[in-house]
Amino acid sequence: MFDFSIVTKWFDELLRVTCGLGNFSAILIECVLVGLIILIAYAVLAIILIFMERKVCAYFQCRIGPVRVGWWGTLQVLADVLKMLIKEIFIVDKADKLLYYLAPFLVIAASVGTFSFLPWNNGAHILDFNVGIFLVTAVSSIGVLGVFIAGWASNNKYSVLSAMRGAVQMISYELSLGLCLISAVILTGTMQISGIVEAQTGPWQWLIFQGHIPALLAFLVFCVAGNAEANRGPFDLAEAESELTAGYHTEYSGMGFGFYYLAEYLNLFVISGLATTVFLGGWAPVNIGVEAFDAVMDLIPGLFWFLAKTFFVVFLLMWIRWTFPRLRVDQILKLEWKYLMPLSLVILVLMTVCVAFGWTFTIA
C-alpha cells in the first residue's frame, strides 16, 4: 500500500531545501495548499452527492431524475449552484443581524472541521491527533449552535420551532454516536484516527469482524444515529415542509441557504466516512488471507478503497431516507432515549468484556 507521507515529505523538503524558504514560509504555503485542497474536495463531493441523491430518489420513486441540463443531467447541479450564487441576499426585518449572519458560518465550519479529520489514504491525514475521536465529536457539536442560532436570530416562529427540534435531536443522538466511537476505541486501544485504521489492515481485521456481534451492532447504531445527527430522513422533522416551510433556514437566501444545503450533504459524507474509518477499515484494502488475492488488492490505491466504502454507506443512508416515512418528534426522541441509548451502553459493556477476555476475532 502506497504511503502518501512520502509525497508530503518530498514537498516539504522542496520548499525548505530547494527553494530555501524558512520554517514559517514553508508552513504557511503548506497550510494554504491544504486549505485549498479541502475546499475543492468539499465542493466537488457536494456536487457528486447532490446529483447522486437526485438519481437515487428518482430510482426509488420510479422517475428518471434530472436529464435536461448536460448529459444525463450531470450539469443540473452546476446550474443550481450558479442560480444560488446570483440570488439576492435579503435582510430580514427585526432579525438579530450578527447572529443571523454568523449561524451559516458556524454550520459550515463544523462541517469542514469534521471533514478534515477523515483519513483518505495511508499517510494522507489532514488532521491526525492522538485524541482524534474526541476532537471529531467536539468539532461536530459546533453545528448544533449554528442550527439553533439560525432559528432564534431569524425572528420567525416556524424557524424557532424548527431550531428547537433540530437542536434537541442532534444533542440527543450525539450520545449514541459517541458511545459507538468509544466502543471502537476500546477494541483498538487508541483514540488516534490513523491508529484505528492501522489496527484494521490485516486479513479480516475490519472492526465489524474483529469485534463481531458488538461491533456490528455498534456500526448499525452509528449509521442510524448519524442519519439523525445529519437531520436527514426519516429524521428530518426540523425541515418538515408541511409544518415549518423550510425549517430553521426559512429566512435565508442565496449562499446563506447554500451553506446549509452544502453542510447537509457533506455531513452525510462525513458520517459515512467516519463509519468507514472506524468500522470498515478506512483506506485498508479487502484482505482475506489468500496471498495472491491480497497482493492484487494491495495494488489498488487506498483512496479508492476509502471512497468506495464511504459511498457504499452513503447509498445505504439514502436508501433509508427514501424508504421510511418521516417520524414524529416523540418517536424520534423515544427511539434514542428508550432504544438506541440503552443499546449503545450494552454494546459498550459487551465490547469491554470481549476485549478483557480476548474474545475478539484475530488472525495471527
Give 288-314 pLDDT, tens digit per residue.
Answer: 888 899 899 988 999 999 999 999 999
Instruction: Rounding to the nearest 10 degrees, give the CA dihedral for residues 160, 257, 307, 176.
Output: -10
Q: Using an 8 Å Cβ cutoff, are 87 and 352 in contact? A: no
Quickly state the pLDDT bin for 5 (edges 50, 70, 90).
confident
Q: Is the confidence at residue 2, as pLDDT, over 80? A: no
Phi (first) and psi of residue 130, to 5 degrees: -70, -10
Q: Is the confidence at residue 1, as pLDDT, over 80? A: no
27 part of a folded domain: no
Range(s) of the domain holding residue 280: 95-357
331 part of a folded domain: yes
Q: Which residues contact 255 (CB under 8 A, 6 or more apart)?
A: 84, 85, 89, 104
User: Whose CA is closest to 217, among 361, 344, 355?
Assistant: 344
C-alpha cell at 97: 443581524
90 part of a folded domain: no
User: How close are the terminal C-alpha atoms of the chain, in Å?
Assistant: 20
User: Whose CA is closest to 316, among 218, 236, 222, 238?
Assistant: 222
174 part of a folded domain: yes
* Measured CA angle at 277 (ends 276, 279), to 5 deg: 65
86 part of a folded domain: no
129 part of a folded domain: yes
Calpha distance 131→191 (Å, rounded): 5
Residue 84 CB burial class (10 angstroms; 0-12, 13-18, ≥19): middle
* Measured CA angle at 232 (ends 226, 334), to 5 deg: 70
- 131-176 pLDDT, tens digit each: 889 999 999 989 899 989 998 898 888 888 888 888 899 999 999 9
Q: What percent of the chain is modeled with pLDDT above 90?
A: 48
Average pLDDT over residues 6-12: 88
User: Whose CA is closest to 181, among 150, 141, 223?
Assistant: 223
Quickly state the pLDDT bin for 19 (edges 50, 70, 90).
confident
- 53-91 pLDDT, tens digit each: 999 999 998 998 888 888 888 899 999 888 888 888 777
Average pLDDT over residues 321-348: 92
- Please name the residue that has the C-alpha cell 466537488: 44
Q: Which residues contact 135 (CB under 8 A, 6 or more apart)?
A: 117, 127, 129
Q: What is the pLDDT of residue 138?
A: 92
Q: Please state, rounded to an integer, the average pLDDT across all residues of the chain.
A: 89
Q: Is the confidence at residue 364, as pLDDT, over 80? A: no
Strand-pairing partners, residue 121, are: 124
297 part of a folded domain: yes
Higher pLDDT, 92 or 262: 262
Q: What is the pLDDT of residue 221?
A: 95
C-alpha cell at 265: 450533504
How many domains does one find in the chain?
1
Q: Using an 8 Å Cβ cutoff, are 298 and 1 in contact? A: yes
Q: Is the confidence at residue 248, as pLDDT, over 80? A: yes
Q: What is the pLDDT of residue 363?
A: 67
Q: What percent of the chain is modeled with pLDDT above 70?
A: 98
Tell me which H or E stretch contains 35: helix 23-60
Q: What is the pLDDT of residue 231?
A: 85
- 26-57 pLDDT, tens digit each: 889 999 999 999 989 988 999 999 999 999 99
Q: Which residues contact 289 (CB under 8 A, 6 or more apart)?
A: 203, 204, 363
Q: What is the pLDDT of residue 95?
A: 82
Average pLDDT over residues 258-274: 91
- 191-204 pLDDT, tens digit each: 999 999 999 988 88
257 part of a folded domain: yes
Q: What is the pLDDT of residue 56?
A: 93
Instruction: Rounding to the nearest 10 degrees, give the CA dihedral for residues 321, 205, 212, 341.
Output: -50
